[in-house]
Amino acid sequence: MTDSLEPLTKVKVTAVPVPDYLIRYYHWAYVAPSAIRFWDHHFLVQLILFGQYKRLKDRTRMLLRQGPTGHLLQIACVYGSLSHDLLDDLQDNESLTVLDVVAEQLLQVQRKNSHPHKHHRLRLLQADSQNIPCPSAHYSKTLLFFLLHEQPEPVRRQTVAEALRVLQSDGLLIIVDYHRPARLHPLRPLVALVFRFLEPFAHDLWAHHLDSWLYQEFPEIQIQKTTHFAGLYQILQIRKSS
């Protein structure tokens, strides 16, 4: 582990600047401490994801368990029990690093995972996903769980580039995010409304298939894609071609 990967008990609130788009569009959801306390409940995340949070989380856990053994980097905090469950799934010689640019988000992960058995397996890293302070090829697995739809296109590109850079050559990147559902999907009008008023960058994932965009941007990768809940969500398993 490098020095930048602080053990759980030494979370440092540093001066990493919070990106403009987060402050401007997502202060109410992820930045204000009161918002973090309000939103961080399993039933609320289940509600926001139309009851699919547990299913998507369990599928993600299964894919990660089947992936190569080693260290896992979760890029961005997620409300609910995802990090807790990922910690539970670790084997003896594995660790979980949770990265986020908002220090209060990491402190919330710390509060939720204070059990002594888990302490030494968890690292909290305050950093921007566009610039991960860690050597290349450091992790066996990286995870982007509902982060990309929140990011403007140039940030999204840089985030994926970093997620791939820190991954070992036989490593696995899992992306879980929105997907364009069929025209007659009953929830499509409601989700489109939410995107329009609350998620200004999410429509990109409907306008362009994420896997096609990724192949264009990163020709060296191989993607296995599955869609869920009648196409509203997608899970991509990504490996670098050798």
Ligand X SMILES: C[S@@+](CC[C@H](N)C(=O)[O-])C[C@H]1O[C@@H](n2cnc3c(N)ncnc32)[C@H](O)[C@@H]1O
Q: State the DSSP string of 166-235.
A: TEEEEEEEEEEEE-PPPTT-TTHHHHHHHHHHH-TTTTHHHHS-HHHHHHHH-TTEEEEEEEETTTTEEE
Contact 97, 15 (CB under 8 A): no
101: contact with ligand X by CB under 6 A = yes
In the complex, least distance from residue 22 CB atom to ligand X, rounded to whole angstroms: 5
In the complex, least distance from residue 184 CB atom to ligand X, rounded to whole angstroms: 25
Contact 143, 112 (CB under 8 A): no
150: contact with ligand X by CB under 6 A = yes
Give CA–CA dist 125/28, Å, rounded: 22
CA 230 to chain centre: 22
51-90 positions binding ligand X, by CB under 6 A: 76-79
Task: Kindly tell me which of 8 and 56 has the beta carbon lying closer to ligand X.
Answer: 56
Only one residue has tokens 């594995």, namely 94
In the complex, least distance from residue 44 CB atom to ligand X, rounded to whole angstroms: 8
Out of 19, 70, 152, 231, name the contact with ligand X by CB under 6 A. 19
Out of 8, 83, 87, 100, name the contact with ligand X by CB under 6 A. 100
162: contact with ligand X by CB under 6 A = no
Please give the residue ranges that form the binding site for ligand X (CB under 6 A): 19, 22, 30, 45, 76-79, 100-102, 105, 128-130, 145-147, 150, 155
